[in-house]
A and B are shown apart, each in its own frame.
Chain A
Amino acid sequence: MDLIFTILLDGLIYASWLFIVALGLTLVFGVLKILNFAHGGLYALGAYGAAIAVPFFAGLGMPEWFSLLAMFIAAAAVAILIAPLIERGLLRYFYGRDEVLILLITYAVFLILEDVTKMIFGVNPYYVFEPRNLLGNVEMGSLFYVGYDLALIGLAIVCGLGVWFGLNRTRIGKITLAVIKEPEVSQAMGVNIARIYLLAFGVGVFLAALGGAFTSPLISVQPGNSVSVIVVSFAVVIIGGLGSIPGAAIGALIVGIARAFAVYELPEAEIFIIYLVMVAVLIFRPEGLFTPIKARKI
């Protein structure tokens, strides 16, 4: 019984950061119809950003709790600095072109980001412990959990609800939904599509960086994390269905719990269980769980 609980909770924690990152990926795909390969690189930038921002603000004499805010600031800074550069500077020239061509372009961006990150931050690992010690430990039955890890679950829920609320309950969100459905019609009706695309891309980058920033206390921040992030978050969104927010949530949960199960019960399978789940889902539903099956008009 305890084991099941442990697996579920560990899975939930893992699913939380996965969801935050995958949410950004699926949002960008939903609005811009772009699979952003550089998403993993932006995640890494968020992690490095946190590794710089947390000690920086501590050095300014800010209170300890400020380190949580510092991680947000780091993610926002990455989004504000990088998103316009990539979207306005490069991607917008390729809208409407074949999706594979755009994937190649974001792949190229990813390669460049990788080395630029290495040049700026070096190859030695960074560690950010402070935020994780901040929220104490929580006792659950016979087990102790780090409060920070549990708070990640809350953060994921806030991110998911925030994006949902932003899309469905705000004016700009409703315009975005209209752009997703009918880009040409929206543009003809006077919607500034460029602004919507930049905004959606910015939010996507922010979520990638946020995922990276809030994961940084759990890992050593060093080169080489980013590729597995893009591959795993792609697995998550493909399980749920590309472009679907509930799909990303379900996908993250399935992947998180499957991985936690492997860690405790089948350690040899840890590295590939995610893909095994993905393959199993795709065999039965090639479009993912939540994609409405589209018919092309012929």
Chain B
Amino acid sequence: MSVAEDHLARSASRAPGHAAAGGNVLSLRNLTKAYERGKPVLREISLDFPARGVVAIIGPSGTGKSTLIRCINRLVEPTSGAVLLGGTDLTKLRGARLRAARREIGMVFQEYNLVERLSVMENLLCGRLGYVSLWRVWTRRYPDEDIARAFELLERIGLADFAVRRADALSGGQRQRVGIARAVMQSPRLLLADEPTSSLDPRTSVEIMELMRDMAAERDIPVIINIHDVALARRFASRIVGMSGGSVVYDGAPEGLNDDHLTQIYGRRETGGWIE
């Protein structure tokens, strides 16, 4: 099955869900997180994410970007507020239903987070762990279509010859490609990326961003990216959310982001360094 067919088939099957969510794949309502009592890292964040396009969240480190993105799939437990994915509040879910919700959200990490001692192929199939029965996982009898799709994706990310290589034999850029492919393997309705380029050199960073944008667009998956690099954010995002001190201080098109906003987000002293 070609990529295009795949895309068509899946967007058709998803149509009713979209309607229910009223055009937004994800809505955050008054999301608050405090690791310590009385010191919130996120303050009452409310945001809506449409069903397509790339949204970049920018802001200095320590401002809660990473916490925000991890609250969405509850790698971090929010203190209060709601995370609505297609109308379901993820903060209310437990056990199997939480896992079922998580598998619909792909995630790409700063440190790639591949299982180093497994092959590239097995790392890709790790994206299917939420779908495949434990017995099949244990015996590595993954379904035919999963294996076929994994090979297609390997082809797509240009690592077709690396299927049986161990993940720790890859370079940083190659690992992040595998990381993206693993997230896409989940057939997610939303892709999260937490500083996906911070551990990479500038050129590889651009390649990774292009790959992520294109793969998401081919499959009609909306993307939310945490990124501290404003230039990359401007280049690849269709919308930018600026965060400072745990609150949203800018939300709009990349073109609307001016120096005043950046000063507000990053503070005055660093402004010179951030604006090219």
Q: Do these two chains really belong together in a complex?
A: no
Residues of A within 8 A of B (CB): none
B residues bordering A, Cβ < 8 Å?
none
